[in-house]
Amino acid sequence: MPAVIVLLAVLAVFAVGYRYYSAYLARSVYALDPSYVTPAHRYSDGIDFVPTNKHIVFAHHFISVAGAAPIVGPAIAVFWGWLPALLWVVLGTVFAAGAHDFGALVVSVRHKGRSIGTLAKDVISSRARTLFLLIIYFLVTMVNAVFAVVIATLFVNNPAAVLPVLLTIPLAIGVGQYIYRKRTAALLPSVVALLVVYASIWLGQHVPVSVDPVASAFGIEPLTVWVVLVFAYTFFASRLPVWVLLQPRDYINQQQMVVALAVIVVGVIIGMNTIAAPAVTDVPADSPPWFPLLFITIACGAISGFHSLVSSGTTAKQLDKESDARYVGYLGAVGEGTLALCSILACTAGVVALSATPASDWQARYADWQTASDGALGTFTRGVAGFAENLGVPLATGTVFAAVVVISFAATSLDTAVRLQRYIVQEIAEIVGIRPLARNLTLATAVALSLPIVLALLPGNFAFGTLWQLFGTTNQLTAGLALAVIAVWVTKRRRNPVVILVPLVFLVAMTSWALVIQLIEFATHEDPLQVFLLAPLDAIIFVLAIWLIVEAAVALRAAWAGRTSPDEHGDGLTEVEAPAADPERDER
């Protein structure tokens, strides 16, 4: 199959989905009101609540959600064949991720910019909030552990990429200072900063940065050193005001995302590469079943619960107008679906672009499940370099470019995830009455990072190999639970919840099934870490999920029964749907 046909067909479907389906959601399901006073204005504090241009908010949101997961998940999932992976990316993006990301953003904006876990209390019940926050805590813990290991692994394997990535930090701070002091547009300074980063790739190839001497001096692995350094950086970065580092670096990375997607798209068109992978693979007998595990292996890139945390955790606090939610939320999901599409093409066509025996070379990379999983990052970076070769870029330079792209995206997601986990720790501390932890940013951040760094430093390929499975399942489960909150909210407002309920039921079924499969696998495994750590963790998450699903079902039934009952105002409108002229009016 020519890769260019797949590329153009999927992009056309995404364009139609944004043009028509997101417009339907905005009008008939979420009923956006451009006059509504958003939390960014109502609670503006210059730190977290900052009214921001929709393009900059989009950059933050898109780059925060477009981390390593939409690259790694599809890179592994094509093990079962490119067709099932592609179908899930397309259908999941248009009908599930778009509604999920968009809806989480709108509901959070209508509830003071609160996180999706806290919203469970307002929309479902007090118990639901506690249950949801615990599930989210486990999810973000795994996100932080996995992404830190991804970044550290790429640093170890691509020392030439270290300098360009590190240079991005002072450049982003400089861009942020320039934008907010001069009150100017971010496009030109961010493009200039990105050009400096790319110019430094040449320097990075001549001056690679390695931590091997430090690791040798302490008798530890280089990967361990990088993991510690990455977490030390995120400790400080996550506590800075969003406009200092997070927003400007997101905008630089948005330009980088455009460049990376352009390299892949133009490389596919010019190279006219053919997909070497089979549409459906005849996998070895001992391989994991594609149903239901395909739907949790490709999490980000089809639908992801982490997106609801970003939408309600940081993005909702920056939204200037409620009508911007369609552009930021739905188009952000489409952008991530496009990245997943590019990952599929890179790993099935680009990786063997110049090979004399593409089918056999691809098969060597996907000989079995373990080989496919362990080599996912390398397969993607080599695939992007293959497309770059079609444009005349040397293979070594293209490989460094691809590594810089993946590290930059993963680092941005990690920064956002650590910030979100700090919020969650503070919310849980507030619930249980530990006020010092709830009010002290330094203590809350330290607690938020304690478990992820332990998981990331466990020996072997634990974080990226084993933990990834449970991360994917918990991630998709969180998406299902976020959809439950959105469905109840939509139902209470007498709008049709069917477009929310369909992906909700599907995700809950797939993730619950996968949790059971993984529980059996963890509990019967020879590795004590899986038996005594992952199996209990899997069981806890499963119990919490079932409990929360029951709470949501009860709330949904009550909301449906009350659709025909007039509200206390007697005008058929809830408080949020009345005109928004009064900035002090908050939704209950």
Residues 91-150: tens digit of each pLDDT:
999 999 999 999 999 999 999 998 887 888 888 888 888 888 888 888 888 889 988 988
Question: Is 50 exceeded by the pLDDT of residue 584?
Answer: no
d(CA 395, CA 125): 55
d(CA 442, CA 446): 6
d(CA 488, CA 123): 7
Give the pLDDT band (50/70/90) at residue 416: confident
- Supply 212's token pair: 């091997």
Q: Answer whether 108's CB lies under 8 Å from 114's CB.
A: yes
What mean pLDDT do residues 229-241 have? 88
What pLDDT is recorded for position 183?
79
Distance of CA 245 to the CA centre of its chain: 19
Identity (one letter) of the amino acid at 329?
G
pLDDT tens-digit map of 547-571: 878 888 888 888 888 765 444 333 2
What pLDDT is recorded for position 464?
55
What pLDDT is recorded for position 461?
63
Q: What percent of the chain has pLDDT over 90?
A: 48
Give the pLDDT band (50/70/90) at residue 245: confident
Q: Answer whether 101's CB lies under 8 Å from 307's CB.
A: yes
What pLDDT is recorded for position 462?
65
What mean pLDDT do residues 430-446 have? 89
- Supply 529's token pair: 């870490």
Locate all alpha helices (DSSP H) within 391-497, ordered by sequence. 395-432, 435-439, 441-456, 467-492
A 10 A CB-CB count for 364 gives 12
d(CA 33, CA 31): 6
CATH class of this structure's domain 3-577? mainly alpha
3-state DSSP of 334-370:
HHHHHHHHHHHHHHHCHHHCCCCCHHHHHHHHCCCHH
A 10 A CB-CB count for 537 gives 19
SS3 label, residue 2: strand
What pLDDT is recorded for position 575?
38
